[in-house]
Amino acid sequence: MHIPDGYLSPVTCASLFGAATPFWYAGLRSLRRRLHTRLIPLVSLFAAFSFVVMMFNIPLPGGTSAHAVGIGLGAALLGPWAAMIAVSLALGIQALLFGDGGITALGANCFNMAIAGCLCAWGVYRLVAFRTEATSRRRVVACALGGYVGLNVAALLAGIELGVQPLLFHDASGAPLFAPYPLHIAIPAMMIGHLSLAGVAEMVISGGVYAFLQKTNLSLLGSNAERPQAAGPGSLRPLWVGLAILMILTPLGLIATGTAWGEWAPKDWRSAAKRAEIQRASSNIAPPARIPAGLERLASVWTAPMPDYAPPLFREPVFGYFLSALTGGGLIILVCQTSLWFLRGSPLRRRPQHHNS
């Protein structure tokens, strides 16, 4: 679901970046109003959690892979606006540092997963959990269903964006310039894996963590996700421990060796084995004989310092993957804390003084 550089035209990328901007602005305004609640530490925690969860690739039939995002849990705990910012931050670090998702396509990836995904997850959660107590089992179901719907909405949007490229952007001979597969191939290829295995994983993660919090930390589950109850200074410790355990386990994500559909690098188009994998995963339709010109041109627009979660200094993939999880998670937490310091001192937070005349 992380669309790489070159698969979307510059027009598509700019349009989706523009569509995402008002939501980012609204999300930041919402965070600014709630700086003195327990929300900010939770945003740091959840952004790092989402980053790590996305490293657990799930093998799919046909040789590809997919992953959960945790958007159901984020929307239920943080509300839609804060969850948008948290997931966007995770996606930004993935693109900049690890090349997971394109820099030019960052607006599209954020719009799909962080914005549309979180909004749909929150909507389903609020609808199913309507007027129930924080201890209700219905809230666990609501969180799980919200995650399932949100993830599949994000996958559907990615499939549509990829599928319209050959229709709208092609050369004089009709050859696609960017993503080569049309809608009737792109949408099923994206949806089958997410409606099944990846969607189930999202349900289990979102509902499972929510059920755990019901038993261990009910203070985090207010009756209204937009007005969470206060939490004590040590109340997040079990969640930080859980995040650390997830980081240690991230090498399990290497079990899925296949590339996610629509995320192939230019070198994959030159490999006979990879081309056969692309064909199997795309309704047995062979990819174009030549790399689409626009895709090849934009694919090299950014070179990540730790591409594919494999630091160049380390030859052992397992250790490199774990180090990437540690580096990315730590950087996300640092960015969140730095942003907190900036927002607290921002002139936008200062209230105008009223003088008696």
- Cβ-based neighbours of 305, under 8 Å, separated by 6 or more: 97
Q: Is 327 exposed, middle or buried (0-12, 13-18, 19+ CB in 10 A)?
A: middle
Q: How confident is the model at residue 298 (pLDDT cuts 50, 70, 90)?
A: very high
Higher pLDDT, 279 or 229: 279
Instruction: Kindly state the tokens that stand for 67.
Output: 């992953």
- pLDDT of 233 > 80? The answer is no
Higher pLDDT, 110 or 228: 110
Q: How confident is the model at residue 36 (pLDDT cuts 50, 70, 90)?
A: low
- pLDDT of 357 > 50? The answer is no
- pLDDT of 225 > 50? The answer is no
- pLDDT of 317 > 80? The answer is yes
Q: Which CATH class is domain 10-349?
A: mainly alpha
Q: What is the pLDDT of residue 345?
A: 62
Comparing CA positions, the residue from 354, 341, 345, 306 lying closest to residue 100 is 306
How much is the mean pLDDT over the chain? 89
Domain boundaries, the chain: 10-349
Q: What is the pLDDT of residue 34?
A: 78
What tens digit of pLDDT does each residue of 331-341 get? 999 998 787 77
Q: What percent of the chain has pLDDT over 90?
A: 73
The mean-pLDDT minimum among 195-204, 217-226, 232-241, 292-301 falls in 217-226
Average of per-residue pLDDT across 326-347: 80
Average of per-residue pLDDT across 36-57: 88
Q: What is the pLDDT of residue 223?
A: 41
